[in-house]
Chains A and B, each alone.
Chain A
Amino acid sequence: METGTVKVKRGLAEMLKGGVIMDVTTVEQAKIAEEAGAVAVMALERVPADIRAEGGVARMSDPEMILKIMDAVSIPVMAKARIGHFVEAQILEALEIDYIDESEVLTPADELYHINKHAFKVPFVCGARNLGEALRRIGEGAAMIRTKGEAGTGDVVEAVRHIRQVNEDIRRVVSASPEELMTIAKELGAPYELVLEVKELGRLPVVNFAAGGIATPADAALMMQLGCDGIFVGSGIFKSDNPYKRAKAIVEATAHYNDAKLLAKVSAGIGTAMRGMNIGAMKEEEKIAGRGW
């Protein structure tokens, strides 16, 4: 009997496909998320929109709060560690969290290095803006990838940019001849072996979710139609005026992302979405997707 293998780490992400993972800050929110049909919850003290508004250093959440949420629901529970903060990750592993998000939403702890994720039995998900970044994280041991998007804005434009970039990079790898692949690996800054794997599979070797700015059922379906395997919703649910209805609608939209009639039905009468902020009007230094490399 072998635990913590690449297969079981990547395997859990495979089981989450077609599902919605929701940010929750309390036991009550976690229960609402589960009732609405979430496949997992992300336990954190402040949703990204509040981290943005309040500023200061954003760190791993209080273990007490994480444990309470783990007790309250039967679905997997994830939590965030700062980029490069392997001790926060060790603590989360000691709590037996189901997945660790090494997240740019928190303040990075290391400007040079991400966590060596191979050293852990608990799987990791990491953000990426392009194929090179995704493959670097997979090379470090990430078992799941998500777009970075621009968390806490309710503006889906960056998530769209990131999945389109990943798709474009994958098409380039797939159509390349064998002698081109090393040069592509060099240009992407990606491990050569993983570039070969992408060429063979025609997709990332791990599950790829959308994250960062998803606020409506239509946003979720858009990301699914663009080829994402599932959806993270951060501030979008509990910053809206009817979280349960919206959460349920986003679950439906993710399962039936190609069914415009159903999308119309579930988008109706779910109240007002989070107000959000227009990324186009933001200064470069206000964006968090640039954290990590």
Chain B
Amino acid sequence: MKIGVLALQGAVREHCQAIRACGAEPVEIKYVDQLQEIDGLIIPGGESTTVGKLMVRHEMIEPLQRMGAEGFPVFGTCTGLILLAKDIHGSDQPRLGLMDMTVERNAFGRQIASFEMDLSIPEIGGPDFHAIFIRAPYISRVGPGVRVLAEYEGKILMARENNLLAAAFHPELTEDLRIHRYFLEIVSNYIK
């Protein structure tokens, strides 16, 4: 199974390591024609304005929108979550807009408010997941097709809409592979 990691900017190395640790093959994606080689895509943490602009310059938005709508699995962490959202509060920045939800950027405050905490995610099984939030967004609204997988004090921190998965935190910065495995399951169902 080949999992692409969008490698325009951000925490690419960490996602590649996690994918390898799960027994799949990571592929760094820098160009649109590489999308044909992979079974699923992770959009890593980074700066969402930077990554969005580079996706536009490299004409990746429309092909990915088409693929995502046809069932191709995409997992976004932090910046990836922002780029997957249909609505970004107060911003007209470029995005994929594949998931029917509204996100708030830098929603917990500036870097000084970045935090770690144990988060309950029943869908992935086992104990609470140690989640790292860095200038993190959260989801303030989800449409009827979007399933909430984790929330804290009314703020949605992880969600899924069919083949699309989004987390406001960084599972790539911890050793816990459960969320990457969960995404790989979505990918293997898609391949079948």
User: What is the interface of chain A, defined by CB distance below 8 A to chain B?
Assistant: 1-5, 7-8, 11-12, 14-19, 34, 37-40, 70, 74-76, 93, 96-99, 121-123, 251-252, 255-256, 259
Name the contact of A8 in the complex, choosing from B13, B47, B105, B115 (C-beta under 8 A): B115
**Inter-subunit contact A121/B112 (CB<8 Å):** yes
Query: Known: A11-B134, A18-B7. Is A75-B49 also a contact (CB below 8 A)?
Result: yes
**Inter-subunit contact A255/B54 (CB<8 Å):** yes
**A16: which B residues are within 8 A, CB to CB?**
46-47
Total contacting residues, chain B, CB less than 8 A: 37
**Inter-subunit contact B53/A7 (CB<8 Å):** no
**B110: which A residues are within 8 A, CB to CB?**
70, 76, 96-98
Any A CB within 8 A of the CB of B178: no
**Inter-subunit contact A2/B117 (CB<8 Å):** yes
Q: Looking at the assembled complex, report how far the CB atom of A159 sits from the nearest CB atom of chain B, in whole angstroms.
A: 20
The 4 closest A-B pairs by CB, nearest first: A98-B111, A8-B114, A39-B47, A18-B9
Q: Looking at the assembled complex, report how far the CB atom of A181 sits from the nearest CB atom of chain B, in whole angstroms.
A: 25
Question: Which of B11, B13, B133, B170 has the largest count of A CB atoms less than 10 A from its CB?
Answer: B11
Query: How far, in angstroms, from A34 to B106 measured CA to CA in the complex?
Result: 16
14 examples of A-B residue contacts, CB within 8 angstroms: A3-B115, A5-B116, A7-B116, A14-B173, A15-B45, A15-B46, A17-B12, A19-B9, A74-B91, A74-B105, A76-B135, A96-B109, A122-B111, A252-B54
User: What is the interface of chain B, defined by CB distance below 8 A to chain A?
Assistant: 7-14, 30, 45-47, 49-50, 53-54, 57, 78-79, 91, 105-106, 109-117, 132-135, 170, 173
**Inter-subunit contact A37/B13 (CB<8 Å):** no
**A93: which B residues are within 8 A, CB to CB?**
112
**Inter-subunit contact A75/B47 (CB<8 Å):** yes
Name the contact of A98 in the complex, choosing from B13, B30, B135, B173 (C-beta under 8 A): B135
